[in-house]
Amino acid sequence: MFIKQLYTGCLSEAAYYIESDGEAAIIDPLRDIEAYLQLAKERNTTIKYIFETHFHADFVSGHLDLAKATGAPIVYGPLTETNFPIHKANDGEVFPLGNCTIEVLHTPGHTIESSCYLVRESDGRPHAIFTGDTLFVGDVGRPDLSSGDMTKEDLAAMMYDSLRTKIVPLPDDVVVYPAHGPGSSCGKNLGPNTYSTLADEKEGNYALKEQTKEEFIKAVTDGLDAPPQYFPINARINKEGYESLDGVLESGLTPLPLSAFKEMIKREDVILLDTRNSSLFLEGFVPGSIGIGLDGRFAEWAGSLLPFDQPFVLVTTVGEEKESMIRLARVGFDKMKGYLDGGFATWQQAGEPIDLIIDVETDELAMDMPFDPNLVVLDVRREPEFADGHIKGAINLPLNALADPASMADLEERYNIYVHCGGGYRSIIAASLLKRQGIHNLRNVSGGWTKIKDQKGIEIEKETSVLN
């Protein structure tokens, strides 16, 4: 048996390739399927099944394109309803794969249809379980994303039963392969690793410790942040179907000469997205651009901040046009209409107007604060990060809130706004959104909270009522 985890860091997503005796199965594929096809070709195997653990909310799955390319059936667990053909498996149904078998374990809780896949050796011994969003390293899937008529408490109660009847009784040496790793918004606080063993999870995962159902429900539902706004959109796409990635790329990968690009961005409905690294963006960009760099959690922030019903044109680093389009398509964007041919250099060399973001060090912020009555520190980290320590008097406006322009209404141009996040990536996105709304009197604090907390002359406080 051969198992390979194909991990995509910017989405904290794990897909899996399982192979035995010339037959392969793919679990939870991304929308760009070339890696799975290439791996099967290199190993001279046939993809026999495509298993989905549930309707993913944080990315668009590649099940439809992969089924079309391979002829393999798409397998979901019980209670699944889709707008395209699937094999709806029964709880306990077994699928032969070479010399091993894959057993369906229906584990509702994260969603109603959530299922895990237990791989058994040729002698029937359990070897690994692919848990989707039911069980993570150190955490479990949040129960508030796809509830239908059920409350998050109802689903958490179902998850309690699923974990204790289907997963906990398995042998301790079973390898746990979840669909996500650290940084994913599909759980509250995933551990640092991307796989584990059942023994380690029984030892260290708060959700698997001995507790009553009521205690479990409280532990799983307390402290949940609001999910990213694109989650229900992606879940719907995965349930209803979507245009092939090839079709999306055919439209999106259109090089636009400067004249055509300028005409496109004059349209009020067109979003101008710059995907260059954050450090390049702040040095100069096309006015009106939203800067979300490929060097961070690009797809997640694009999905959280940008509209799905408007066309896009892109400015990218030359050679990264396709990568930018694929990453957007992974979270459901399909209205890309081209990119500036030659990148930002084309705009710059033509002598077109340029905007930029002033970058300042923390010592400059420390010197300015006591003497500028109009200075405002804007902290765009999440509420729990802010509560755990922030500059005294700072305004907390989390980056995801900036998707709504009304959130910026109180930030007047007379203020000298210093924007920061944890390390610098989110604050540059925030600064681009502020500038797009006409707020230009701002500076980005280089290094963010990582440097601020150690800067002499800046008073720090915590929100103890929130932390308690």
My answer on whether 148 and 72 are in the same domain is: yes
Q: What's the maximum distance between 2 C-alpha atoms anywhere in the chain?
A: 75
Structural domain boundaries, residue 275:
243-349
pLDDT value at residue 308: 95
pLDDT level of residue 467 (50, 70, 90 thresholds): very low
pLDDT value at residue 147: 57
pLDDT digits (tens, 9 = 90+) for 62-87: 999 999 999 999 999 999 999 999 99
Beta strands across the sheet bearing 255-256: 255-256, 336-340, 312-315, 271-274, 290-291
For residue 48, give the nearest of 104, 114, 97 by alpha carbon: 97
What's the pTM?
Answer: 0.93
We report the CATH number of the domain holding residue 257 as: 3.40.250.10
In a domain? residue 238: no
pLDDT digits (tens, 9 = 90+) for 256-285: 999 999 999 999 999 999 999 999 999 999
Name the domain boundary from 232, 253, 281. Answer: 232
My answer on whether 404 and 331 are in the same domain is: no
In a domain? residue 237: no
pLDDT at 413 over 60: yes
* Average pLDDT of the residues in 108-127: 97
Residue 1 in tokens: 């048996």
Name the domain boundary from 171, 203, 232. Answer: 232
We report the CATH number of the domain holding residue 140 as: 3.60.15.10
User: From CA 379, how far away is CA 420, in angstroms rounded?
Assistant: 5
pLDDT value at residue 464: 59
Residue 319 in tokens: 């050679």
pLDDT at 468 over 90: no
My answer on whether 77 and 190 are in the same domain is: yes
What is the tally of structural domains in the chain? 3
Cβ-proximal residues to 122 (8 Å cutoff; 6+ apart), any chain: 99, 100
pLDDT at 224 over 90: no
pLDDT level of residue 466 (50, 70, 90 thresholds): very low
Indicate the average pLDDT of the chain.
95
Name the domain boundary from 232, 252, 277. Answer: 232
My answer on whether 413 and 433 are in the same domain is: yes
My answer on whether 327 and 178 are in the same domain is: no
pLDDT value at residue 130: 98
Residue 229 or 146, more confident:
229
My answer on whether 363 and 343 are in the same domain is: no
My answer on whether 377 and 430 are in the same domain is: yes
Q: What percent of the chain has pLDDT over 90?
A: 92
Strand partners, 442: 417
